[in-house]
Amino acid sequence: MLKNIGKFLFMIELGYKYIYIFKKTFFHPFISLKQAYKELSLDRQAYSNNVLEFLNIEVKVVGQLPKKDKVLYAINHRSLLDIIVMEHIFSKYNKNGTWIAKEELFTAIYGDFFKYSGCISVDIENGKGLLKFFKQIKKTLAKVDDLNVYIFPEGERNKQDAILPFQNGASKIAIANNLEVVPIFINDKLEKVFKNAPFEEERKIVEVHIGKPINPKNLEDEYKIFMNNAIGEKI
């Protein structure tokens, strides 16, 4: 019980500290959009690295991120810890990017973290909201030439072993903006990992597989092939 209380207190305190840091960049009157995304990406990565160090989690990467930017990274999703693990990896490659997240996350208890850290919201239930989102992402990518896009194609957290059917947003974003798509598979149930953290005796190793670029027009099928190869079995 005390272990869990300490974990949440640490993350809440650190989260509020970084919301303050995010706001300084978000509301800066003279910073360019490109520089703002770079600063916010670095700050998200610093936050994530601090959390993983506290939880005593190590990330083992199989494969490597491409050197080029303007890439859409399609990632499986089981826990909020997924974002933290991925930001740690992006920090190792000096990547600048934005997370695509449901609008409801921006009004949740941790909403300010998403709102001010350089994430882009999308209202998938509203036609006008979707149109506004696609205009925003295109405009942002035009102004920030080294921006990458991070997205969970399943659209929600998945508690199953098999992936959920992909929503079509990831494919549409990639095709509309001529983005290469790189699949990423987190080979662990991070909800359970987070529940058992922090690990006191031995560091917990989380394995993450990075694939070669796949066709956005056939995203779900090609992602499944990549995932099955990563785990060595059929799902």
pLDDT digits (tens, 9 = 90+) for 4-29: 788 889 999 999 999 999 999 999 99
Rounding to the nearest 10 degrees, give the CA dihedral for residues 64, 80, 162, 188: 60
Q: How far apart are CA 214 and CA 180, in angstroms?
A: 8
pTM of the predicted structure, to 2 decimals? 0.94
Amino acid at 151: I
* Beta bridge mates, 207: 60
Query: Digits of tens for pLDDT over the chain (235 positions)?
Result: 556 788 889 999 999 999 999 999 999 999 999 999 999 999 999 999 999 999 999 999 999 999 999 999 999 998 889 999 999 999 999 999 999 988 888 888 789 999 999 999 987 776 777 888 999 999 999 999 999 999 999 987 777 777 899 998 999 999 999 999 999 999 988 888 988 889 988 999 999 999 999 999 999 999 999 999 998 854 4
Question: pLDDT per residue over 26-67, tens digit each?
Answer: 999 999 999 999 999 999 999 999 999 999 999 999 999 999
On whether the CB atoms of residues 103 and 122 are closer than 8 A, the answer is: yes
d(CA 35, CA 8): 31
Can you point out the beta strands (E) in the chain? 57-62, 71-75, 96-102, 120-122, 147-151, 180-186, 204-210
Contact present, 116 and 18 (Cβ < 8 Å)? no
DSSP secondary-structure letter at 146? T
Domains delineated in the chain: 2-231 (3.40.1130)
Cα-based distances in Å from 161 to 164, 184, 186, 205:
9, 15, 12, 19
